[in-house]
């Protein structure tokens, strides 16, 4: 079985950086803090970490196995592994649809981020004023605008498309190797500065001391959705990246490294943001605009040094957005490539389609001219809480109950060259019983408990 995308990652390190780049993105640095803030801080974090390692990592390994075994995108991989059950093709298609919708939301947020980075560089952000109300008003006016947010999301999309057009090895792998270490260094620097603020300890208490009385059924579902969202599983992306993995890559080790890296970045993002939020007397429940409405107040309070921190933070957020957007656009492009369309045409076609949806979503945010459609809110809720868990549930059912066990263990052991010992029993138990049951229970509880 071969993919029409004949190129792949050149090294295991490049594969880990690219997959980690997909996982470590806006989901960690933008979405995690505000979702964590909305659902109780430490209690949400505890549940989130459990989901990441017991379900998310298992799903990542499963998708890597499916991708490398078939060398195909999700739309064909399921059928290739189970030709007598072609209905599974629709699971792959649903995953790609989820990727498309998530990419549209990502572009909206990425446009905001790129604009704030530009305003930090020019000093426009620092001239708004020191009060939280001023930044909230500024964000509301900007995000609901009809021109500037759309222009910046299109610029960001153009940059993403240029990297994907360059290909897997020369574009995605090369840029991931460069951006991921930079991203980590920038985040650590911001954490250090945030922890030196007066009153920062309250933010740490909020993040690390769980109060489970604040956690609702919807909050548990949000934790599951965030775990899947941040790891980029349940949307077909890791199946595509799995098809690019080198034949000697240790899937177990790579999945572990990516999951640990993703979790560390999420926690560091909380450490960077919550102490600063509490130090300035702001609320952690600021929603999607948390980093745009609250953090500029913090940066402005730091005097001249605050401008440098502001530039650094929004550069970090832009790079994180870029690594994730690349993987989503690549997954959709690979599907078209598999169907015979050349890479450049595929990138252009997907970019045009997603640009339209992203622009409409942007215009529907807040008091935008399409606010009555609630399109942004619908897409955000669907891609954050529902579609990834549903896709993940179907994927893990296929993997655990319909894929041949010998094929699974052959891939995990690299055709018998890697010793996996008792792990194969543990993993198979997680894939067949624990992960499907947990996904189903949380999905039902989250929906019923609304």
Higher pLDDT, 90 or 273: 90
Decide if 291 is inside a domain: yes
Decide if 1 is inside a domain: no
How high is the mean pLDDT of the chain?
83
Decide if 202 is inside a domain: yes
- Please give the helix or strand (H or E) that residue 204 lies within, else none: helix 200-208
- How far is 87 from 279, CA to CA, in rounded Å? 54
Helices (H), 82-147: 89-122, 132-143
**pLDDT value of position 133:** 74
- How far is 123 from 117, CA to CA, in rounded Å? 10
Look at the chain and report how many structural domains it folds into: 1
**pLDDT value of position 304:** 67
Tens of pLDDT along 93-112? Answer: 999 999 999 999 999 999 99
- 202, 280 Cβ separation under 8 angstroms: no
**Which of 234-238, 289-293, 354-358, 409-413 is predicted most confidently?**
354-358
DSSP-assigned states of every residue in 271-325? HHHHHHHHHTT--S--GGGHHHHTHHHHHHHTTHHHHHHHHHHHHHHHHHHHHHH
Q: Minimum mean pLDDT among 6-15, 141-150, 275-284: which range?
A: 6-15
> Cβ contacts of residue 429 below 8 Å, gap of 6+?
none
Quickly state the pLDDT bin for 1 (edges 50, 70, 90). Answer: very low
pLDDT tops 70 at residue 22 = no
Q: Minimum mean pLDDT among 250-259, 279-288, 362-371, 407-416: which range?
A: 279-288
> Residue 315 corresponds to which tokens in the numbers above?
């550069």
> Residue 392 corresponds to which tokens in the numbers above?
């993940």
Residue recorded with tokens 């909206």: 108
Quickly state the pLDDT bin for 7 (edges 50, 70, 90). Answer: low
Decide if 138 is inside a domain: yes
Decide if 29 is inside a domain: yes
Quickly state the pLDDT bin for 443 (edges 50, 70, 90). Answer: confident
Tens of pLDDT along 230-272? Answer: 888 888 888 988 888 888 888 888 888 889 888 888 888 888 8
Tens of pLDDT along 377-430? Answer: 899 888 877 888 899 899 999 998 999 888 998 898 888 788 887 777 788 888
Quickly state the pLDDT bin for 203 (edges 50, 70, 90). Answer: confident
Decide if 433 is inside a domain: yes
DSSP-assigned states of every residue in 206-254? HHHS--GGG--HHHHHHHHHHHHHHHT-SSSHHHHHHHTS-TT--HHHH
- In the chain, the N- to C-terminal Cα span, in Å, equals 44
> Residue 338 corresponds to which tokens in the numbers above?
């598999």
Between the alpha carbon of residue 256 and those of residues 75, 231, 261, the distances in Å are 26, 11, 8
Quickly state the pLDDT bin for 157 (edges 50, 70, 90). Answer: very high
Q: Minimum mean pLDDT among 64-73, 88-97, 100-109, 297-306: which range?
A: 297-306
For residue 423, give the 3-state DSSP assignment. Answer: helix
Higher pLDDT, 339 or 385: 339
- 86, 263 Cβ separation under 8 angstroms: no
Decide if 171 is inside a domain: yes
- How far is 255 from 263, CA to CA, in rounded Å? 12
Q: Is 73 exposed, middle or buried (0-12, 13-18, 19+ CB in 10 A)?
A: buried
Cα 253 from chain centre: 20
What counts of helices (H) and strands (E) characterise the chain? 23, 0
Buried b (16+ CB within 10 A) or exposed e, 229-245: bbbbbbbbbbbbbbbbb
Cα 101 from chain centre: 13
**pLDDT value of position 290:** 73
Quickly state the pLDDT bin for 128 (edges 50, 70, 90). Answer: confident
**pLDDT value of position 313:** 82
Q: Is 42 exposed, middle or buried (0-12, 13-18, 19+ CB in 10 A)?
A: buried
Decide if 306 is inside a domain: yes
**Which of 55-59, 358-362, 387-391 is predicted most confidently?**
358-362
pLDDT tops 90 at residue 352 = yes
- 60, 259 Cβ separation under 8 angstroms: yes
Higher pLDDT, 59 or 414: 59
**pLDDT value of position 80:** 92
- How far is 45 from 203, CA to CA, in rounded Å? 13
pLDDT tops 80 at residue 283 = no
Between the alpha carbon of residue 325 and those of residues 3, 77, 124, 240, 331, the distances in Å are 22, 22, 27, 14, 10
CATH code (residue 284): 1.10.4160.10
> Residue 407 corresponds to which tokens in the numbers above?
């094929």
Note down the domain range covering 434.
Answer: 12-448
Quickly state the pLDDT bin for 168 (edges 50, 70, 90). Answer: low
- How far is 329 from 47, CA to CA, in rounded Å? 30
> Residue 146 corresponds to which tokens in the numbers above?
């009809």
């Amino acid at each position: 079985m071969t993919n029409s995308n004949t190129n792949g990652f050149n090294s295991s390190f490049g594969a880990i950086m690219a997959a980690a780049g997909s996982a470590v993105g806006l989901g960690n640095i933008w979405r995690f803090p505000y979702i964590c803030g909305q659902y109780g801080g430490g209690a949400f974090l505890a549940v989130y970490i459990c989901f990441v390692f017991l379900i998310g990592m298992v799903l990542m390994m499963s998708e890597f196995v499916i991708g490398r075994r078939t060398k195909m995108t999700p739309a064909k991989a399921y059928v290739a592994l189970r030709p007598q059950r072609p209905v599974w093709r629709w699971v792959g298609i649903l995953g790609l649809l989820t990727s498309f919708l998530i990419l549209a939301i990502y572009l909206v947020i990425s446009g905001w981020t790129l604009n704030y980075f530009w305003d930090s560089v020019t000093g426009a952000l620092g001239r708004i004023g020191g009060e939280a109300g001023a930044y909230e008003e500024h964000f509301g006016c900007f995000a609901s605008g009809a021109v500037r947010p759309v222009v910046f999301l299109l610029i960001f999309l153009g940059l993403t498309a240029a990297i994907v057009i360059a290909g897997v090895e020369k574009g995605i792998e090369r840029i991931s190797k460069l951006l991921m270490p930079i991203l980590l260094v920038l985040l650590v620097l911001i954490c250090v500065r945030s922890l030196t603020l007066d009153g920062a300890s309250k933010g740490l208490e909020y993040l690390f001391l769980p109060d489970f009385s604040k956690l609702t059924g919807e909050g548990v579902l949000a934790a599951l959705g965030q775990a899947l969202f941040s790891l980029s599983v349940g949307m077909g992306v890791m199946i595509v990246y799995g098809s690019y993995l080198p034949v000697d890559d240790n899937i177990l080790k790579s999945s572990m490294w990516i999951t640990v890296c993703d979790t560390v970045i999420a926690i560091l993002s909380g450490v960077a943001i919550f102490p600063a939020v509490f130090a300035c007397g702001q609320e952690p429940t600021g929603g999607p605009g948390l980093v745009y409405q609250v953090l500029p107040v913090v940066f402005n309070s730091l005097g001249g040094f605050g401008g440098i921190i502001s530039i650094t933070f929004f550069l970090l957020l832009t790079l994180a957005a870029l690594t994730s957007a690349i993987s989503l656009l690549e997954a959709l492009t690979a599907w078209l490539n598999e169907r015979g369309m050349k890479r450049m045409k595929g990138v252009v076609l997907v970019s045009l389609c997603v640009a339209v949806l992203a622009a409409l979503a942007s215009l529907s945010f807040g008091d935008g001219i399409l606010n009555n459609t609630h399109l942004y809110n619908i897409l955000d809720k669907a891609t954050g809480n529902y579609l990834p868990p549903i896709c993940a549930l179907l994927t893990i059912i296929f993997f655990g109950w319909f894929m041949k066990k010998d094929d699974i263990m052959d891939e995990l052991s690299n055709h018998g060259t890697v010793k996996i010992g008792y792990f194969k029993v543990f993993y198979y138990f997680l894939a067949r019983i624990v992960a499907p049951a947990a996904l189903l229970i949380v999905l039902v509880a989250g929906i019923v408990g609304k």
